[in-house]
Amino acid sequence: MSDPETDDTGEGSESDEENLRDNVGQRFGRLPATSADREVKGRASREEVVEFFNERFGIEPAVFEDFSFWEKGKGKIWIFAADNPSPVRIEGLGMTVLRTRQEHWKPTHSAVQRFGRHATKNVIDLSPEQAATFARGEDQDLPEWDGDWGYLIAAHELAGEREPVGVALYVYDELRSTVPKGNQEALSVL
Amino acid sequence: MNPLERYAPLVDDREAFFDACERPLPSVVRVNTIRSTPDRARAALDEEGVGYEEVDWNPELLRLDERGPGTSWPYFHGWLHGQEEVSALPAIALDPQPGEKVWDSCAAPGSKTTQLSAMMDDRGVVVGNDNNLGRLSALRHNAERLGVTNLVVTKQDGRNFSLKPFGFDEFDRAIVDAPCSCEGTIRKNPDTLDQWTLEHVHSVSAIQKGILSRAVQATKPGGTVVYSTCTFAPEENEAVIDHVLETEDCEVVAFDCPLESRPGVTEWEDDEYDSSVEQTHRIYPHLNDTGGFYCAKLEVTA
Ligand SMILES: C[S@@+](CC[C@H](N)C(=O)[O-])C[C@H]1O[C@@H](n2cnc3c(N)ncnc32)[C@H](O)[C@@H]1O
């Protein structure tokens, strides 16, 4: 294919980080299956992404079996329902799912809304008042949580079932809402 | 003069037509089945005390009593998407199946695109294309909000769309929800007609012919192409279909229209169109209390 992301010099597949090509901003590159297959510097592998969701939230790897994972720009990971030749220059490929290349990987709001119901841990169940505060994008004191710090899935009950609201950041007895500005909403206390 | 006067000879009940055009449009939402079910969405609206009425021909469409859908929990969760009732029609006519490859040539802001994804259980590929960057960002935002993962977004001119970025070279189905003079959206945007000129109708008709031709070419033999507009102008509807019948390998096929409609017209001013355009559908605002619409279904023959 044209527009390769890796050098086609045939100099072998030794994974010397120095020889890896830089990630290029405006195109999507498929994540390598494992870190041993890595050809783009700093790019997460599919295995690491699936493992992240499993370890942090207990989401079974089987949930992601039929999807492919892509990086566009440094550390912006997208999830796509099918596959496509890589790399590819287009405007969008599936949905954003994760930010890597920072100390703590952060799932996106849309990823948590779409896949969060498969989570079995690090889910914090909010009361109706807390959920409304969270959806407005506001931080709140929540000293009673005695689970992990870091990124959590905030959930509430709607129409008789648990439904993820968004990504929370829990630090120092405080629950911070990371609901993106464009999605924040003043909603009723159910 | 009101440009809509042009179409008075085409409608059976002139007064009802003009009256309907002056009334505001009901606020309708589509349940996003990627994220929820009609049952759960209705239960959530009930919990929140939001009044609605089911649209009788489609359980996924709900007519809200008052406010827009933007401020309710089910909307926040991506269970609902604001979409006019009549705008749900082209995707239903296209009938995409899970796993197929579908091209939406004029996709932004994505009401029909995301409906196609939902009908395909978010499997296979929907290529959502538009040539307007600002509108594409609205498409991306809507797709994210609704949790769509099978959408590829491209920015190309639909008239010479290239499949080079993909690992396939033809689509199973395509939908052309064309740019148009938007006369049928008068109930939503009362000043739509202020800019109306016959020159614009003719120039947009040329673009429509170009995009629809490309859609037929890019679709496999035996595949389906649906063409729709929100205008009454035959220049932008039957004339466009008539053009591709002559220049491309395709034919008009009949489909059951769940809304009350009138057959496409075979004569307009000095022009005559292929008789098969009678199997296409014109929807006037007074027929079902919706916006105005036109929808045609084609089968690719070679
Ligand atoms: C009727 S709107 C589409 C609405 C959309 N299908 C929906 O349901 O939300 C028509 C779109 O065609 C786009 N458009 C106009 N000329 C185009 C061209 N030559 N190629 C591709 N898209 C074009 C416009 O930017 C506009 O977004």
Catalytic-residue membership of B230: yes
Q: Is B106 annotated as a binding residue?
A: yes
Report the 10 Å Cβ neighbour count for B255.
19
Q: Does B122 touch chain A (CB under 8 A)?
A: yes
DSSP state at residue B24: P
Q: Give the Cα separation of A61 and A42 in Å (integer).
A: 22
* Mean of pLDDT values over B173-187: 94
pLDDT value of position A17? 37
Which H or E element spans position B294? strand B293-300
pLDDT value of position B192? 86
Beta bridge partners of B173: B102, B224
Expressed in angstroms and rounded, the spacing between residue B13 Cα and the centre of ligand 1 is: 31
- Residue A55 contacts by C-beta under 8 Å, 6 or more apart in sequence? none
Q: Is A103 exposed, middle or buried (0-12, 13-18, 19+ CB in 10 A)?
A: exposed
Domain B26-83 class in CATH: alpha beta
Contacts of A161 in chain B (CB under 8 A): 40
DSSP state at residue B25: P
Q: Which of B152, B154, B163, B172 to mutate to test the interface with A (most CBs of A within 10 A)?
A: B152
Higher pLDDT, B197 or B69: B197
Residues with CB under 6 A from ligand 1: B 87, 105-112, 129-132, 135, 157-159, 177, 179, 207, 211
How distant, in Å, are the alpha carbons of B127, B131, B196, B197, B292 from that of B181?
A: 25, 17, 7, 9, 12
Q: What is the pLDDT along chain A (190 residues), one digit of tens a residue?
A: 334 454 333 333 333 333 456 666 579 999 999 999 999 999 999 999 999 999 999 999 999 999 999 999 999 999 999 999 999 999 999 999 999 988 999 999 999 999 999 999 999 999 999 999 999 999 999 999 999 999 999 999 999 999 999 999 999 999 999 999 999 999 999 8
Expressed in angstroms and rounded, the spacing between residue B227 Cα and the centre of ligand 1 is: 12
pLDDT value of position A23? 65
Domain A122-183 class in CATH: alpha beta
| Full 3-state SS string of chain A | CCCCCCCCCCCCCCCCHHHCECCCCCCEEECCCCHHHCCECCCCCHHHHHHHHHHHHCCCHHHHCCCEEEEECCCEEEEECCCCCCCECCCEECEEEEECCCCCCEECHHHHHHHHHHCCCCEEECCHHHHHHHHCCCCEECCCCCCCCEEEEEEEEECCEEEEEEEEEEECCEEEECCCHHHCCCCCCC
Contacts of A76 in chain B (CB under 8 A): none
Q: Which of B41, B71, B145 sits opposite A186 (nearest CB)?
A: B71
Q: Is B111 annotated as a binding residue?
A: yes
pLDDT tens digits, one per residue of B208-223 = 999 999 999 999 999 9
pLDDT value of position B212? 98
The CATH homologous superfamily of the domain defined by B3-25+85-300: Vaccinia Virus protein VP39 (3.40.50.150)
Using an 8 Å Cβ cutoff, are B90 and B295 in contact?
yes
- Please name the residue of chain A whose CA is at the shortest distance from the CA of residue B41: A159
Residue type at A84 in one-letter notation: N
Residue type at B176 in one-letter notation: V
Report the 10 Å Cβ neighbour count for A174.
14
Pull the structure tokens for residue A95: 């949905």
- Please name the residue of chain B whose CA is at the shortest distance from the CA of residue A185: B71
- Exposure string over A17-52, b if 16+ CB within 10 A, otherwise e: eeebeebbeebbbbbbeeeeebbbeebbbbbbbbeb
Place of tokens 């040329």: B206
Give, for ligand 1, the residue of B28, B126, B130, B230 to mutate: max count of ligand atoms closer than 8 Å to Cβ: B130
Tell which B residues from 140 to 159 touch A, by Cβ distance under 8 Å: 140-141, 143-145, 147-155
Q: Give the Cα separation of B65 and B63 in Å (integer).
A: 7
pLDDT tens digits, one per residue of B222-261 = 999 999 999 999 999 999 999 999 999 999 999 999 999 9
* Mean of pLDDT values over B74-86: 96
- Catalytic residue chosen out of the listed positions B21, B230, B257, B295: B230
pLDDT tens digits, one per residue of B83-108 = 999 999 999 999 999 999 999 999 99
How distant, in Å, are the alpha carbons of B121, B130, B177 from that of B159?
A: 29, 11, 13
ipTM of the complex: 0.95
Q: Give the Cα separation of B64 and B54 in Å (integer).
A: 9
Kindly report which listed range (A151-155, B47-51, B70-74) carries the lowest average pLDDT score: B70-74
Place of tokens 């008042």: A129
CATH 3.10.450.720 residue window(s) in chain A: 122-183
Q: Does B44 touch chain A (CB under 8 A)?
A: yes
CATH 3.40.50.150 residue window(s) in chain B: 3-25+85-300
Strand pairing category for A123-125 and A95-99? unpaired
CATH 3.30.70.1170 residue window(s) in chain B: 26-83
Higher pLDDT, B189 or B109: B109
φ, ψ for residue B240, nearest 5 deg: -70, -45
% of chain B with per-residue pLDDT over 90: 91
pTM of the complete model? 0.94
